[in-house]
Homo-oligomer: A and B are copies of this chain.
């Protein structure tokens, strides 16, 4: 158990009086090796604590056994997105089973999204990449397709070539929300959408317009508000809306941060959510405690599951599955009573521990 000379195939082979070739093959149950020898090698490897050197394996095989997930850092500017961590946890946990490790690369505001992906590819930082904030004509998707670099996007594109993705059914969620709100008598329903040309913003708009048409409400562009996906930006944009349009009685937010922004805007505008009957609809993962919770509807998706699905797709891709078969659109779960929902999650968590 001496530690100075690091255990590698060579030391292991010398120690056993075998060749490097045989040891290497024995460790992966090569059929050319005598079963007896296999057992002997494996025992010695375990005893000496041999671990294959990742660099050596890569150089020979071209496989890094790493997957990269891109983390969009500018979103951290104010409250950050705790849900991303749950996703990371899901990805990490799923990859672990197949001996893959996760690299998280922070994408700063200064570099373009494509730069980050290109770097992963060119420096061979990982065998595949996972990214979000997907756009209809996403350049990262194009890049990966061109160089045949395995990837799973969190969000769909409108590109011809099909590829692996995981996405939320935002069109369906928004559609459902508008139908319900209209049923309750709401006439002026605002839609908040993130800027940046993300695919799901378009899908949300489609669901919105489809529902409006169905219930016979007019499509009023002034009810569509766009801003950055942060508390402050959405707050400012929605405050402006409330100030210029007294008829708005419901706001469809994009994620938790913009929901916080909507609530702050309502309070800043002097509204009392209970008295004024303002309805706020949010979308996202595990809901934080909010400034107020009356009149709030929440469309929920567990983000750890997103991560698990992303990782499963990635592993399947690397194992040779066709991208067409690796496309998931996950439905939202509608929550009307947040308090009760939290209690449920709490019991659920307590039960699993």
Contacts and interface: CB of A to CB of B under 8 A. Distances in A.
Interface of A: 3, 49, 51-56, 58-59, 64, 66, 71, 73, 76-86, 88-89, 92-93, 96, 101-106, 108, 119, 122-125, 147, 231-232, 260, 263-264, 286, 288-291, 304, 345-346, 349-350
A76 B86 contact: yes
Contacts of A350: 232
A78 B3 contact: no
A263 B232 CA distance: 24
A78 to B, nearest CB: 7
Contacts of A73: 89, 92-93
Question: Could you say how many copies of this chain the assembly holds?
Answer: 2
Given A73-B93, A104-B103, A105-B92, A83 B80 contact: yes
A106 B88 contact: yes
Contacts of A82: 76, 79-82, 85
Given A55-B59, A124-B53, A288-B79, A103 B106 contact: no
A54 B89 contact: no
Given A85-B85, A232-B346, A304-B76, A93 B122 contact: no
B76 A122 contact: no
A104 B123 contact: no
Given A73-B92, A76-B89, 18 more contacts: A49-B122, A52-B123, A56-B59, A71-B85, A71-B88, A80-B85, A85-B85, A88-B106, A92-B105, A92-B108, A93-B106, A101-B103, A102-B105, A102-B106, A232-B349, A232-B350, A260-B289, A289-B290
B76 A85 contact: yes
Contacts of A101: 103, 105, 125
A240 to B, nearest CB: 16
A92 B80 contact: no
A91 to B, nearest CB: 8
